[in-house]
């Protein structure tokens, strides 16, 4: 499913609001929650993560997975949390608006 512009950031932040994850985990989390509708390519996801880290919405740190592998874990920052809140608000309202328009029947 194609994503609306800017939606990916909100989705990633939403995933991270549950706790630090590495890139693959985030992808899986999104796919699981959307019953496979949101399949984001890992390469694009990593680039998005780098970009968001640059904007200091997240911080990345090397950590060790449950399977004892090294992975770069991302954690949401306070700025990220604030950004998420704003994005959720605006996405919700635009979805409501879109739904209202698209669901309108001719009278």
Cβ partners under 8 Å of residue 57, min gap 6: 9, 13, 76, 77, 79, 80, 83
Task: Report helix angle 7-16 to 42-54, nearest 10.
Answer: 80
Which listed residue (4, 17, 56, 97) binds other proteins by CB under 8 A? Answer: 56
* 81 contacts other proteins (rule: CB under 8 A): no
38 binds other proteins (CB under 8 A): no
CB of 59 to other proteins, least distance (A): 6
User: If binding is defined by CB under 8 A, does position 14 make contact with other proteins?
Assistant: no
Q: If binding means CB under 8 A, how many residues of this protein chain bind other proteins?
A: 32
Which residue matches tokens 């004892």? 68
Q: What is the DSSP letter of 34?
A: T
Q: Output the six-digit token pair for 78.
A: 């306070």
User: What distance in Å separates the CA atoms of residue 103 and residue 59, rounded to the nearest whole number?
Assistant: 41
Q: Is 35 in the site for other proteins (CB under 8 A)?
A: no
The least CB distance from residue 88 to other proteins, in Å, is 21
Which residues of this chain interact with other proteins, rule CB under 8 A? 19-20, 22-25, 28, 41-43, 46-47, 50-51, 53-54, 56, 59-67, 69-73, 75
């Amino acid at each position: 499913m194609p994503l609306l512009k800017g939606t990916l950031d909100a989705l990633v932040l939403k995933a991270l609001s549950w706790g630090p994850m590495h890139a693959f985990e985030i992808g899986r989390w999104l796919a699981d929650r959307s019953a496979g509708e949101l399949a984001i390519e890992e390469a694009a996801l990593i680039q998005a993560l780098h970009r968001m880290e640059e904007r200091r919405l997240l911080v990345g740190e090397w950590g060790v997975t449950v399977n004892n592998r090294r992975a770069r874990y991302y954690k949401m920052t306070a700025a990220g949390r604030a950004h998420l809140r704003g994005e959720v608000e605006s996405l919700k309202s635009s979805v409501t608006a879109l739904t209202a328009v698209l669901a309108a029947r001719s009278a």
